[in-house]
Amino acid sequence: MNEATHDSTEQTDRKREERREFHSYVWGVGLALILTLVPFALVAWTDIARQTLYIVIGVLALVQMVVHFRFFLHLGLRRKREDLHLILFSALLLVILVAGTIWIMTNLSVRMALPMMP
Amino acid sequence: MSRNYQNFQYPGLNLGSAHPEAHKAAESMMFGFWVFLMSDAILFGMVFATYVTQLHATAGGPGPQDLYDIKSVFIETMLLLASSFTFGMASLSMKYEHGKAQLIGWLTITLLLGLAFLGFEVHDFLSMIDKGGAPERSGFASAFFDLVPLHGLHVTAGCIWLLGLVGQMLRYGLDTRTKLGVMRLALFWHFLDIVWIAIFSVVYLAGLA
């Protein structure tokens, strides 16, 4: 008898967990959809100044990446920390490498009058 | 006791108490796979940096405005997002034991979406080459064909991996090894969708803005 009630609570726990995880994916898709549709619409149908558009596209892309990490890859602040550290450190390396490369190459092209800047 | 399993062991969907063996084996394997994904992200980052430095090196040839087709990119984006969702459904179907048939069904839908994505992408590349934007035309074209097909190649690898996993499932059933395979492919697939966000934003939207 005891065993049976224990099993059934475990089963309702599981059902609840399944619903929660299903909702995580639905939320993820919903948010990702909005964050995709907005920049596409802005580029396709509006005449906003290019610099503003670059910033909007960049910010929305970063937010969408966070949404994907959070809702599809289930990455969170209260989960196991080592993995979050791995990802954050890789992100730091990425920023240093990419920003450094672009900085150096832009500088080079300006000084050498290469056809990089418009 | 099952409370212990509710502590997540790694980013990504955790199998939990119903799959004790796979859940235990997963921890170090998933961490290792995350290390691979992050080094892959660094690789993509450097190719992105190369692309950005070559943006204006069109050598008189066609540039982004002439070559990119926003409709096609939008369809590709939707296909990849949908495939991320269907792979999520496959993961849930495996975790909550809805049977092999349902799992293979979701994986098949994911595969079809992935293949459709690749079809649109190949069509894009061919039409770009048709418009005079072949890789050898300019530094810009080379950098483009270094970056975007690299992602396409990853998706192709993911599709082949998916086929292999379905074969493994049909042959050996849902054992620990196939479960761990599905979980790693899930991480890979969602990761590729994140790389695609960077591609459609940096390459296509910024190029067409």
Evaluate whether A94 touches B106 at the Cβ level (below 8 Å): no
Q: What angle do CA A37, A38, A41 make, to 5 degrees?
A: 80
Of A32, A76, A115, nearest to B57 by CB-CB distance is A115
* Alpha-carbon span B181 to B25, nearest angstrom: 12
* Alpha-carbon span B74 to A42, nearest angstrom: 13
The reported pLDDT for the residue numbered A82 is 75
Instruction: Residue A2: name the closest of A10, A13, B17 by CA.
Output: A10
Please name the amino acid found at residue A89: F
Q: What are phi and psi of B134, to 5 degrees?
A: -65, 155
The reported pLDDT for the residue numbered A31 is 97
Q: What is the pLDDT of residues A24-35, one digit of tens each?
A: 999 999 999 999
* Alpha-carbon span B200 to A59, nearest angstrom: 13
The reported pLDDT for the residue numbered B70 is 95
Q: Can you spell out the DSSP letters for chain A?
A: -HHHHHHHHHHHHHHHHHHHHHHHHHHHHHHHHHHHHHHHHHHHH----HHHHHHHHHHHHHHHHHHIIIIIS---TTS-HHHHHHHHHHHHHHHHHHHHHHHHHHHHHHHHT-TT--
Instruction: Residue A43: name the closest of B94, B46, B169, B209 by CA.
Output: B209
Show residues of chain A in contact with B54, CB under 8 Å.
Answer: 116
Contacts of B134 (CB under 8 A, 6+ apart): B128, B141
The reported pLDDT for the residue numbered A113 is 72
Give the chain B residue nearest A37 (alpha carbons).
Answer: B74
The reported pLDDT for the residue numbered B7 is 57
* Alpha-carbon span B63 to B66, nearest angstrom: 5
Q: What is the pLDDT of residues A37-72, one digit of tens each?
A: 999 999 999 988 999 999 999 999 999 999 999 999
Q: What is the pLDDT of residues A99-117, one digit of tens each?
A: 999 999 988 888 887 655 5
Q: Which residue has the higher pLDDT, A7 or B5?
A: A7
Evaluate whether B201 touches A61 at the Cβ level (below 8 Å): yes
The reported pLDDT for the residue numbered B170 is 95
Cβ of B9 within 8 Å of Cβ of A80? The answer is yes
Evaluate whether B178 touches B169 at the Cβ level (below 8 Å): yes
Chain B from 98 to 137: CB within 8 A of any A CB: none
Please name the amino acid found at residue A76: G
B185 CA to chain A: closest CA distance, Å? 12
* Alpha-carbon span B180 to B162, nearest angstrom: 13
Confidence of residue A2 (pLDDT cuts 50, 70, 90): low
Q: Which residue has the higher pLDDT, A117 or A22?
A: A22
Cβ of B205 within 8 Å of Cβ of A43? The answer is yes
Show residues of chain B in contact with A98, CB under 8 Å.
Answer: 45-46, 48-49, 52
The reported pLDDT for the residue numbered B5 is 46
* Alpha-carbon span B204 to B202, nearest angstrom: 6
Q: The dihedral of CA B111, B113, B114, B119: what is its sign?
A: positive
Q: Tens of pLDDT along chain B (209 residues)?
A: 344 444 566 777 888 777 888 888 888 888 899 999 999 999 999 999 999 999 988 889 999 999 999 999 999 999 999 999 999 999 999 999 999 999 999 999 999 999 999 999 999 999 999 999 999 999 999 999 999 999 999 999 999 999 999 999 999 999 999 999 999 999 999 999 999 999 999 999 999 98
pTM for the full predicted model: 0.91
